[in-house]
Amino acid sequence: MPYQKDFLLKAYRSMKTIREFEERCVKEFEGGNIPGFVHVSNGQEAIAVAACIDLSDKDIIGSTHRGHGHCIAKGCDIGAMMKEIMGRVTGLCKGKGGSMHIADIDKGMLGANAIVGGGPPLVNGAALAAKTLGTKNIALSFNGDGSANQGTVMEAMNMAVVLQLPHVFVYENNGYAEGTAANYGLGCDSLTDRNAGFGMPAECIDGLDFFVTYEALKVATQRARDGGGPSAIEAMCVRFDGHFIGDPQLYRGTNEIKDARKTQDCLKIFRQRVVAEGWLTAATMNAIDKEIMVEIEKAVADALTAPHPDPATDLMSDVYCSY
């Protein structure tokens, strides 16, 4: 067996937690319990988990507007996350951030980012700190097919090469940027070829396959840790839901999502593989599923009863360390 059982269990648990967390977010949003704009990442779990599973809390990730999965994969507490997403004062960011700005510095999660392309320059900074301080930590940014076209992202790629920063650029190519096709927004035929043009190793992989993604990330991460500089990995995947919760998705093909949920579900693909290989049993995974449902139920119940922030004390605090 090429993978430790613990590793496989952790991977599965993490992916499944993301899936159920996101599906529940949709429900809670529709039930009026979550305010604001919420972007869920179900369908893309394999990439988040493959990218983060080997990282320590000192390795830094930078995320996007679609950040829940990255948080969970990086080890953020789902209870504190749900509270944050519901705007409670006991949330990860005291309710000040919300879904689009959720962060957990203690876990090396440098924040979702509601500005497309906002993250990679910052992740360069985390990588620069690691390099300057000689910590051997690495940094990793999540990007989309759409954010790839933001100037800040391209600048960050070039700078990462120039300064040989330990920064892995992960591109989750889910085929869409809101309601615009990836291959419309990207003028080039291949994002990976474009990435390679920046002077870093670049690869395009099947992001629905956890194992393929994990192996590619492992090489890139190790390269970064060994001082070999940045890499770019484009992971092809599918967005199971709308751009935001509530998106009518008129731009998608007939049955596109239904079909994808059937045949392009990274969780199903994972389960099939590990069962076929005899690495894990369905029963084991079903048991994990149950645990997760309980955890999420609890996260939601706790969040729903968690205290709200108090404008008198919370509105004006945390702007500065001192002023």
Partner 1 sequence: MTNYSNDPKIAGKSSLKTIREAINDALRAEMRRDPTVIVLGEEVSGGAGCPGEDDAYGGVFGVTKGLMPEFGRERVIDTPISEAAIIGAAAGAANNGLRPVAELMFFDFIGVSFDQIFNQTAKFRYMFGGKSKTPLVIRATVGGGWRAGAQHSSMLHSIVTHIAGLKVVMPSNAYDAKGLMVQAIRDDDPIIFLEHKTMYDNTCEVPDEQYAIPFGEAAFPRHGTDVTIVAISNMVTRAIEAADILAKEGISCEVIDPRTVSPLDDEAILESVEVTGRLVVVDEGNPRCGLASDIAGIVAEKGFHSLIAPIRTVTAPHTPVPFAPELEDAYIPSVEKILAAVREVIGG
Ligand X SMILES: Cc1ncc(C[n+]2csc(CCOP(=O)(O)OP(=O)(O)O)c2C)c(N)n1
Which region among 88-96, 173-181, 196-204, 218-226 touches ligand X (by CB under 6 A)? 173-181
Which does residue 198 touch among Mg ion, partner 1, a second copy, none (CB within 5 to 8 A, set by kind)?
Answer: a second copy
Q: CA dist 311 to 94, 95, 316, 317, Å?
A: 12, 11, 8, 10
Q: Least distance (Å) from ligand X to the CB of residue 37?
A: 9
**Residue number, 160 or 292, with CB nearest to partner 1:** 160
Minimum distance, C-beta of residue 10 to partner 1, in the bound complex (Å): 25
Q: If contact means CB under 5 to 8 A according to the sort of partner, which of partner 1, Mg ion, a second copy, none does residue 251 touch?
A: partner 1
x/- binding map, residues 176-195, to Mg ion, per CB under 5 A?
xx------------------
**Interaction of residue 84 with Mg ion, rule CB under 5 A:** no
Binding to a second copy (CB under 8 A) within 151-180 occurs at: 151-155, 157-162
Q: Shortest approach of ligand X to residue 228 CB, angstroms?
A: 26
Residue 123 CB contacts under 8 Å (≥ 6 apart), including other chains: 60, 61, 62, 110, 139, 140, 141, 156, 167
- Tell which one of 46, 50, 55, 200 touches a second copy (CB under 8 A): 200
With beta carbons less than 8 A apart as the criterion, state whether 242 and 37 touch.
no
Residue 160: contacted member of ligand X, a second copy, Mg ion, none (CB under 5 to 8 Å, by partner type): a second copy
Of 16, 83, 101, 243, the one binding ligand X by CB under 6 A:
243
**Residue 144 in the binding site for ligand X (CB under 6 A):** yes
Site map for a second copy, 177-196, x if CB under 8 A?
Answer: -------xxxxxx---xxxx
Distance of CA 100 to the CA centre of its chain: 12
HEC letters along 43-54: CCHHHHHHHHCC
- Least distance to partner 1, CB of residue 252, Å: 5
What distance in Å separates the CA atoms of residue 313 and residue 307, rounded to the nearest whole number?
13
The crossing angle, in degrees rounded to 10, of helices 266-276 and 282-305 is 150
- Taking CA atoms, 27 is separated from 44, 246, 261, 291, in Å, by 19, 11, 18, 19
Distance linking the first and last C-alpha atoms of the chain: 57
| Site residues (CB under 6 A) for ligand X, limited to 50-69 | 64-66
201: left (phi over 0), alpha (psi -120 to 50) or beta: beta
Per CB under 5 A, the list member of 63, 124, 174, 192 interacting with Mg ion is 174
Residue 277 touches which of Mg ion, a second copy, partner 1, none (Cβ within 5-8 Å per kind) = none
Task: Provide the greatest CA pair distance for the chain.
Answer: 61
Q: Could you tell me which stretch among 9-17, 25-33, 127-135, 144-152 binds ligand X (CB under 6 A)? A: 144-152
Stretch that binds ligand X, among 175-183, 215-223, 252-260, 300-308 (CB under 6 A): 175-183
Nearer to ligand X, 47 or 280 (CB): 47
Binding flag, residue 154, ligand X (CB under 6 A): no
Who contacts 272 (Cβ-Cβ below 8 Å, separation ≥6)?
none
Residue 176, classed as helix, strand or coil, is strand
Q: Is 7 helix (H, G, I), strand (E, B) or coil?
A: helix
Binding footprint of Mg ion on the chain (CB under 5 A): 144-146, 174, 176-177
